[in-house]
């Protein structure tokens, strides 16, 4: 049994229900992109708390560093320069796992218990059960999980589930100096977002809004965007993310149908044998060939 | 001691060995692949030294099967050309399945069903190899759409292939006197005359 605050709601490759009786509060992290100054304190705090140290790397000519998510970088800042309404805008998005309510990674994962969703909404990878197949990478609509080159296990943001379990905010939220990362009950975060959005709209960002995509059942990391009508502006944040139909087919209907079909063929063969009997060489033909032999022998 | 020296040679040693390399790799692939397909089969990974080993080994065994299958394909391709008699046989396969095969059309070394199996498994093998490479993350990194397509094709075609091979194995069990052709290469003349009369005539000169 996990901690009560970390009751498991869903478990990968498991066909029976996980703990359902207790109801814990659904939590969320709210990232207010309009308040982010790109200081990367969250990135540093993440590495510090989670004991992950990627290579220092090189400057690639822009502020992005680490350049991409990796097994050693569970959150990165993505910087975008864009012109909106005749003005230059510098958009900075903290990228990482969005902790979908309907996680495609969990649906695709073939290893029992390698991906779990807590009843508070956090989607966590349990690396000790991970087999390194990369199905989670294949399924994720946000391109978040990364397979480690050191141990071939999948890694991503845990929302600091160990901190959340004892009522602490994730390390990134704790470290953020501007309050751009808020953490709390999902409902409270939505209320807070409403205030921020109203404020942004007042300041001329008509299309300001909340990014809580319903195609994945909503997420437990939400963004306040000044241009919520154009999420693509923010380093290709998907507009209508959802589980790909190919992944749904592969890990949905195909599984029970193919299993039943194979069982049908196996049992069908058995019962064919039992009901129709074997197809044997006829005695008549055997005798005929024996006669021929005797005639030739004479 | 050979029971009857007049038994007919159906497969030579190299063909048999090739077939068994394909057969063994198929069994290992089906068992490990099913484990990743549905959680009900996940315990099968224990046969491979645990789930991580199963994940590591599966694609390498796949390469072995692809190469050895290509060997079988090249050996038997010319014997599996569909003819009018084969199509007639396939149209009347129901009679055969019902155990009433005494006036099925005369068949050469392979009947229409076997030929359909040959081309069906060859197509499956091709699709499995290509889609398998697409999802072999340890060594390849293809575009995500291709990887997703690869995953769904690999799973669907594998299910079809497993069903085909079940039918293949069952047919060999059902038709008595067949399996020995793949163990030690020979069949009795009566077996040949009953099931593959045109081939019997060709090899016996009768």
- Are B150 and B142 a contacting pair, CB within 8 Å? yes
Do residues A42 and A181 touch, judged by C-beta distance below 8 A?
Answer: yes
Q: What is the pTM of this model?
A: 0.93
Q: For residue B205, what pLDDT is reported?
A: 85
For tokens 């194995």, the residue is: B169
pLDDT at B206: 78
pLDDT (mean) for A149-154: 96
Note whether A267 and A132 are same-domain residues. no
| Contact flag A13-B173 (C-beta cutoff 8 Å) | no
- Domain stops at, among A205, A223, A243: A243
Dist CA B100 CA B82 (whole Å): 23
State CA B10 to chain mean position distance: 17
Question: Is A96 part of a structural domain of the chain?
Answer: yes
Interface of B with A in 125-144 (CB under 8 A): 135, 137-138, 144
Contacts across the A-B interface (CB distance below 8 Å): 122
A99, A137: one domain: yes
Of chain A, the percentage scoring pLDDT greater than 70 comes to 98
Domain annotation covers residue A98: yes
SS3 A261: helix
Residue A209 lies in a domain: yes
Q: pLDDT by residue (tens digit) across A244-274?
A: 999 999 999 889 999 999 999 999 999 999 9
Q: Where do we find the tokens 């038709």?
A: B175
Measured between CB atoms, which of B45, B148, B173 is closest to A138?
B148
Q: Does any domain span residue B15?
A: yes
Beta strands A123-125 and A115-118 are: antiparallel
What pLDDT shows up at residue B77? 96
Examine residue B41 and state whether it is found in any structural domain, yes or no. Answer: yes
Q: Is residue B186 one of the residues assigned to a domain?
A: no
- The arithmetic mean of pLDDT across residues A286-290, rounded, is 93
Q: Check: CB of residue A213 under 8 Å from CB of residue A228.
A: no
Domain boundary among A217, A243, A269: A243
Same domain membership, residue A98 and residue A152: yes
Instruction: Give the ipTM of the model, two decimals please.
Output: 0.91
Range of the domain at B14: 10-71
CA Rg, chain B, in Å?
Answer: 19
> Quick one: A153 and A217 in the same domain?
yes
B40 φ/ψ angles, rounded to the nearest 5 degrees: -60, -30
Q: Please check whether residues A30 and A89 belong to one and the same domain.
A: yes
* Residue B40: C-alpha distances to residues A55, A120, B44 (Å): 40, 28, 9
Q: Does B38 participate in catalysis according to the annotation?
A: no
Which residues is A55 bridged to in the sheet? none
In a domain, B40, yes or no: yes
Assess whether A236 and A274 both reside in one domain: no
Q: What is residue B145's predicted lDDT score, i.e. its pLDDT?
A: 96
User: And the tokens for A25?
Assistant: 């509060």
Domain co-membership, A142 together with A190: yes
Cα separation, A221 vs A212, whole angstroms? 8
Q: CB distance from B35 to chain A under 8 Å? A: yes
Q: Confirm whether B153 is domain-assigned.
A: no
pLDDT of A85 reads 87
DSSP chain B: --S-TTPEE-S-HHHHHHHHHHHHHHHHHHHHHHHHH-GGGGGGGGGGTSHHHHHHHHHHHHHHHHHHHHHHHHHHGGGG---HHHHHHHHTHHHHHTT--TTSPP--SS-HHHHHHHHHHHHHHHHHHHHHHHT-TTT----HHHHHHHHHHHHHHHHHHHHHHHHHHHHHHHBTT-THHHHTSEE-HHHHHHH-HHHHHHHH--
Please name every residue paired with A115 in a beta bridge, in sequence order, or none if there are none.
A125
DSSP 8-class letter at A280: P
Examine residue B19 and state whether it is found in any structural domain, yes or no: yes
Q: Which of B78, B168, B195, B196 is catalytic?
A: B168
Q: For residue A19, is it within any domain?
A: yes
What pLDDT does B15 receive? 97
| Residue contact A246–B35, C-beta within 8 A | no
Residue A96 to chain B, least CA–CA distance (Å): 18
Distance CA A211, CA A204 (A): 19
Assess whether pLDDT exceeds 50 at residue A65.
Answer: yes
Indicate whether B191 belongs to any domain. no
In whole angstroms, give the CA distance from residue A182 to residue A166: 17
- The owner of tokens 């030294």 is B49
The answer to which of A90-94, A195-199, A263-267, B95-99 has the lowest mean pLDDT is B95-99
Please determine, for residue A3, whether its predicted confidence score (pLDDT) is greater than 70.
no
In a shared domain, residues A49 and A124: yes
Handedness of CA A221, A41, A69, A3 (dihedral sign): negative
Q: How many domains does chain B have?
A: 1
If one counts the domains in chain A, the total is 2
Give the residue-averaged pLDDT of A101-109: 97
Q: Give the pLDDT band of residue A1 (cuts 50, 70, 90).
A: very low
Does the residue B112 lie in any domain? no
**B101 or A70: whose pLDDT is higher?**
A70
Name the residue among B17, B26, B32 with its Cα closest to residue B64: B26
Scanning B56-95 for CB atoms below 8 A from A yields none
Q: How far is A133 from chain B (nearest CA, A)?
A: 6
Output the pLDDT for position B182: 95
Looking at the fold, whether A266 and A155 belong to one and the same domain comes out as no
CATH number of residue A139's parent domain: 3.30.70.20
Domain boundary residue, one of A197, A217, A243: A243
What's the whole-number mean pLDDT along residues A189-216?
A: 97
Is it the case that residue A2 has pLDDT exceeding 60? no
- Residues of chain B with confidence (pLDDT) below 70: 1
Range of the domain at A265: 253-297
Task: Look at residue A5 in the predicted model and tell me its pLDDT.
Answer: 67
CB burial of residue B13 (10 Å; 0-12, 13-18, 19+): exposed
Burial of A18 (0-12, 13-18, 19+ CB in 10 A): middle
A155 with A267, same domain: the answer is no
Domain check: are A178 and A293 in the same one? no
Determine, yes or no, domain membership for A248.
no
Average pLDDT for chain A: 94
**Cβ(A177)–Cβ(A36) under 8 Å?**
no
* CB half-sphere exposure, B194, CA atoms < 13 A: 25
> Do residue A237 and residue A282 come from a single domain?
no
Say what percent of chain B tops pLDDT 70: 100
Task: Assess whether pLDDT exceeds 70 at residue A163.
Answer: yes
């Amino acid at each position: 049994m996990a901690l009560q605050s970390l009751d498991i709601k869903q478990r990968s490759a498991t066909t029976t229900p996980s703990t359902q009786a207790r109801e814990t509060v659904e939590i969320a992290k709210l990232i207010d992109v309009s308040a982010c100054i790109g200081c990367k304190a969250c990135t540093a705090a993440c590495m510090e708390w989670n004991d992950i140290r990627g290579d220092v790397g090189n400057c690639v000519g822009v502020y992005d560093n680490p350049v991409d998510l990796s097994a050693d970088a569970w959150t990165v800042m993505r910087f975008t320069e864009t012109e909106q309404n005749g003005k230059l805008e510098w958009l900075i998005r903290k990228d990482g796992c969005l902790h979908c309510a309907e996680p495609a990674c969990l649906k695709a994962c073939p290893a029992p218990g390698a991906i779990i969703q807590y009843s508070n909404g956090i989607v966590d990878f349990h690396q000790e059960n991970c087999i390194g197949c990369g199905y989670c990478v294949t399924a994720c609509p946000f391109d978040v999980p990364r397979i480690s080159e050191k141990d071939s296990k999948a890694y991503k943001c845990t929302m600091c589930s160990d901190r959340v379990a004892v009522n602490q905010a994730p390390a990134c939220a704790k470290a953020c100096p501007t309050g751009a990362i808020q953490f709390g009950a999902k409902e409270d975060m939505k209320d807070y977002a409403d205030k921020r959005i109203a404020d942004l709209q007042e300041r001329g960002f008509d299309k300001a809004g909340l990014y809580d995509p319903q195609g994945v059942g909503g997420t437990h990391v939400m963004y306040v965007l000044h241009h919520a009508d154009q999420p693509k502006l923010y380093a290709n944040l998907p507009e209508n993310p959802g589980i790909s139909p190919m992944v749904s087919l592969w890990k949905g209907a195909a599984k029970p149908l193919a299993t039943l079909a194979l069982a049908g063929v196996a049992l069908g063969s058995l019962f064919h044998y039992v009901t129709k009997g074997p197809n044997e060489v006829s005695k008549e033909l055997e005798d005929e060939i024996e006669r021929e032999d005797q005639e030739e022998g004479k | 001691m050979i029971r009857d020296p007049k038994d007919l040679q159906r497969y030579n040693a190299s063909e048999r060995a090739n077939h068994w390399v394909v057969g063994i790799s198929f069994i290992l692939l089906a068992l490990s692949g099913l484990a990743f397909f549905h959680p009900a089969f996940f315990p099968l990974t224990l046969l491979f030294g645990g789930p991580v080993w199963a994940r590591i080994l599966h694609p390498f065994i796949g390469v072995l099967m692809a190469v050895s299958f290509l060997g079988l394909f090249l050996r038997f391709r010319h014997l599996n050309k569909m003819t009018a008699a084969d199509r007639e046989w396939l149209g009347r396969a129901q009679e055969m399945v019902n155990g009433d095969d005494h006036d099925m059309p005369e068949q050469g070394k392979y009947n229409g069903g076997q030929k359909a199996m040959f081309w069906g498994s060859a197509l499956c093998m091709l699709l499995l190899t290509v889609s398998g490479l697409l999802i072999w993350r340890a060594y390849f990194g293809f575009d995500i759409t291709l990887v997703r397509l690869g995953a769904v094709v690999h799973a669907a075609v594998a299910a079809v292939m497993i069903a085909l091979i079940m039918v293949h194995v069952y047919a060999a069990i059902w038709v008595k006197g067949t399996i020995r052709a793949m163990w030690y290469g020979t069949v009795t003349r009566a077996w040949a005359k009953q099931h593959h009369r045109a081939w019997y005539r060709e090899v016996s000169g009768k």
